[in-house]
């Protein structure tokens, strides 16, 4: 029998191989200019109260709301950055059209997927995709309020720390704290739902939720994660001249560019640009501002190996630093976990989530796995609804 560590190594190799062999999915159109709903805090320089404090709220522009939402708000709240310094995030809060039940609406914290690192990519200032509109409307129709963080640095000063578990986790939890200060009929019971980048964020938040809400009356109940990017830090750490030796799908080029940009911004002890070629440094700068589709167009057909002048591993302690920055935890959960994965997913190939599931099972975590053989990265979100709906109904029951 293979050891757990050797088994994980095998599936990580499969992740890289799958990414090489498969082509990327069709991409969405470029985004319109952001609509801040009258709350533009991209250059905010005012006071920052303690973490999880609501700073300001405005009605969300109806053009940015959801078909199943009644009142909706854009919020600005405090949450720490990658270095633990006081910072802020924005987000959106949606209420169902149906009357609140006794005790208020249970809350779902939505953790969004990759949109980009630049402020123009901020989800609460843009129309939701057709997929996310249908998905979030479903949860509203089930009687849940939806709170959606943009994550610190996206639409607020600083750079969003892409795939940083710690920053995204606190952004999510603090958004729920802030939403409960709006004076709305919200229950204390809440759960987390995330996709892709948001799935990793959701799991990091799930592992930390009880500790981060200590001293409050919030009652965290469980997490749904689909298309989870787990264990990819090991593959990222292999980047260097000529690796990978083939052209990857544009989507994977985009993800790596965002990872390098976020990791470079977070890493004050060493310089990622020092191991990059001039083209690699250009990609790093593009990743800081360009939203997903525009960056995908710019990076299509490029070889990642051409971005590197030296192996990323030549930076001392880089693999450990990558793990600390973007690792998805597989222990320490105290509430139920729902993992959903499509086998046709080429953005986050199945071995990524399957390796995480194996790690969780080996560590006796409260996890259940749902496989969707015919679904890709996007399709898994809606395909998981028949399974995730009873899961959330169960964990959020009074």
Secondary-structure breakdown of the chain: helix, strand, coil percentages, each rounded to the nearest 5: 40, 20, 40
The region, left, alpha or beta by phi > 0 then psi within -120 to 50, assigned to residue 331 is: beta
Q: Using an 8 Å Cβ cutoff, are 330 and 359 in contact?
A: yes
pLDDT on residue 102: 96
Q: H helices then E strands: how many in the chain?
A: 12, 9
Give the span between the Cα atoms of 266 and 379, in whole angstroms: 32
Give the span between the Cα atoms of 354 and 391, in whole angstroms: 20
* Average pLDDT, integer, range 317-334: 95
User: What does the block give as tokens for 239?
Assistant: 């980047």
C-alpha of 282 from chain center: 25
pLDDT on residue 243: 87
Instruction: Please check whether residues 295 and 313 belong to one and the same domain.
Output: yes
pLDDT digits (tens, 9 = 90+) for 157-171: 999 999 999 999 999
Please check whether residue 382 lies inside any domain of the structure. yes
* Average pLDDT, integer, range 13-24: 36
pLDDT on residue 270: 76
Instruction: Please check whether residues 166 and 129 belong to one and the same domain.
Output: yes
* Average pLDDT, integer, range 186-192: 98
**In the predicted structure, residue 206 carries a pLDDT above the cut 80:** yes
Query: What is the overall mean pLDDT for the chain?
Result: 92
Instruction: Please check whether residues 339 and 376 belong to one and the same domain.
Output: yes
Q: 330: Cβ–Cβ under 8 A, 6 or more apart, which residues?
A: 230, 356, 359, 360, 362, 363, 365
pLDDT on residue 1: 32
pLDDT on residue 27: 39
Place 268 in a pLDDT band, splitting at 50, 70 and 90.
confident
Instruction: Please check whether residues 241 and 389 belong to one and the same domain.
Output: no
Instruction: Please check whether residues 72 and 149 belong to one and the same domain.
Output: yes
User: What does the block give as tokens for 245?
Assistant: 């030796």
**Boundary (domain end) residue, out of 280, 306, 325:** 325
Give the span between the Cα atoms of 1 and 130, in whole angstroms: 45
Give the span between the Cα atoms of 254 and 307, in whole angstroms: 13
User: What does the block give as tokens for 373?
Assistant: 């053989």
**Boundary (domain end) residue, out of 276, 307, 325:** 325
Instruction: Please check whether residues 347 and 375 belong to one and the same domain.
Output: yes
Instruction: Please check whether residues 345 and 379 belong to one and the same domain.
Output: yes
Closest among 230, 280, 201, 215 to 12, alpha carbons compared: 230
Instruction: Please check whether residues 84 and 132 belong to one and the same domain.
Output: yes
Q: Which of 8-17, 42-51, 146-155 has the least mean pLDDT?
A: 8-17
Please check whether residue 26 lies inside any domain of the structure. no
* Average pLDDT, integer, range 193-210: 98
Instruction: Please check whether residues 362 and 316 belong to one and the same domain.
Output: no
Residue count (the chain)? 398
CA distances from 384 to 110, 143, 286, 338, 397 (A): 15, 18, 34, 10, 20
Instruction: Please check whether residues 263 and 178 belong to one and the same domain.
Output: no
**Boundary (domain end) residue, out of 298, 325, 352:** 325
pLDDT on residue 16: 40
Say what the alpha-carbon torsion angle 190, 171, 31, 117 is, to the nearest 10 degrees: -150
Please check whether residue 49 lies inside any domain of the structure. no
User: What does the block give as tokens for 277?
Assistant: 């070629």
**In the predicted structure, residue 115 carries a pLDDT above the cut 60:** yes
Q: Which of 11-15, 48-52, 137-141 has the least mean pLDDT?
A: 11-15
Q: Using an 8 Å Cβ cutoff, are 383 and 375 in contact?
A: yes
Residue ranges making up the domain that contains 248:
233-325
**In the predicted structure, residue 380 carries a pLDDT above the cut 80:** yes
pLDDT on residue 327: 95
Q: How many domains are contained in the chain?
A: 2
Please check whether residue 11 lies inside any domain of the structure. no
Instruction: Residue 380: give its domain's CATH number.
Output: 3.40.50.1820
Please check whether residue 134 lies inside any domain of the structure. yes
Percent of the chain with pLDDT over 90: 86
Instruction: Please check whether residues 304 and 354 belong to one and the same domain.
Output: no
Residue matched to tokens 């729902």: 338
pLDDT on residue 242: 87
Please check whether residue 45 lies inside any domain of the structure. no
**In the predicted structure, residue 331 carries a pLDDT above the cut 50:** yes
Which is more confident, 348 or 126? 126
Instruction: Please check whether residues 363 and 302 belong to one and the same domain.
Output: no
Place 352 in a pLDDT band, splitting at 50, 70 and 90.
very high
Please check whether residue 118 lies inside any domain of the structure. yes
pLDDT on residue 26: 36
Place 203 in a pLDDT band, splitting at 50, 70 and 90.
very high
**In the predicted structure, residue 21 carries a pLDDT above the cut 80:** no
Please check whether residue 9 lies inside any domain of the structure. no
Place 23 in a pLDDT band, splitting at 50, 70 and 90.
very low
Q: Which strands form 337-342's sheet, in the order they lie side by side?
A: 54-59, 69-78, 88-96, 145-149, 105-111, 186-195, 219-226, 337-342, 367-372
């Amino acid at each position: 029998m293979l050891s757990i560590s050797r088994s994980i190594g095998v599936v990580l190799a499969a992740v890289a191989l799958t990414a090489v062999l498969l082509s990327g999915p069709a991409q969405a159109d470029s985004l319109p200019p952001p609509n801040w709903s009258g709350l533009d805090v991209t250059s905010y320089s005012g006071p920052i109260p303690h973490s999880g404090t609501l700073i300001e709220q405005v009605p969300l522009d109806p053009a940015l709301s959801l078909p199943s939402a009644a009142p909706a708000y854009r919020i600005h709240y405090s949450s720490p950055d990658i270095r633990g310094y006081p910072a802020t995030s924005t987000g959106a809060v949606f209420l169902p059209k149906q009357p609140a039940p006794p005790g208020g609406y249970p809350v779902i914290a939505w953790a969004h997927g990759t949109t980009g690192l630049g402020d123009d990519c901020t989800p609460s200032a843009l129309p939701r995709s057709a997929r996310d509109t249908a998905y979030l409307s479903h949860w509203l129709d089930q009687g849940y309020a939806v709170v959606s963080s943009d994550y610190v640095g996206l639409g607020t000063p600083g750079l969003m720390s892409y795939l940083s578990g710690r920053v995204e986790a606190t952004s999510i939890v603090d958004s729920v704290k802030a939403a409960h200060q709006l004076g709305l009929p919200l229950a204390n019971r809440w759960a987390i739902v995330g996709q892709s980048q948001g799935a990793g964020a959701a799991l990091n938040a799930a592992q930390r939720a009880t500790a981060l809400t200590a001293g409050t009356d919030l009652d965290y109940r469980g997490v749904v994660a689909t298309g989870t990017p787990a264990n990819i830090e090991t593959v990222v750490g292999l980047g260097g001249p000529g690796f990978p030796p083939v052209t990857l799908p544009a989507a994977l080029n985009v993800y790596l560019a965002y990872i390098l940009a976020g990791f470079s911004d977070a890493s004050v002890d060493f310089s990622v640009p020092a191991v990059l070629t001039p083209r690699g440094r250009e990609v790093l700068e593009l990743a800081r501002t360009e939203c997903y589709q525009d960056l995908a167009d710019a990076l299509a057909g490029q070889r990642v190996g051409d971005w590197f002048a030296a192996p990323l591993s030549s930076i001392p302690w880089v693999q450990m630093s990558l793990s600390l920055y973007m690792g998805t935890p597989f222990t320490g959960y105290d509430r139920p976990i729902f993992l959903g994965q499509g086998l046709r997913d080429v953005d986050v190939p199945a071995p990524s989530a399957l390796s995480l599931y194996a790690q969780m099972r080996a560590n006796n975590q409260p996890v259940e796995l749902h496989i969707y053989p015919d679904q890709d990265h996007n399709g898994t979100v809606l395909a998981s609804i028949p399974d995730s709906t009873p899961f959330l109904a169960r964990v959020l029951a009074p």
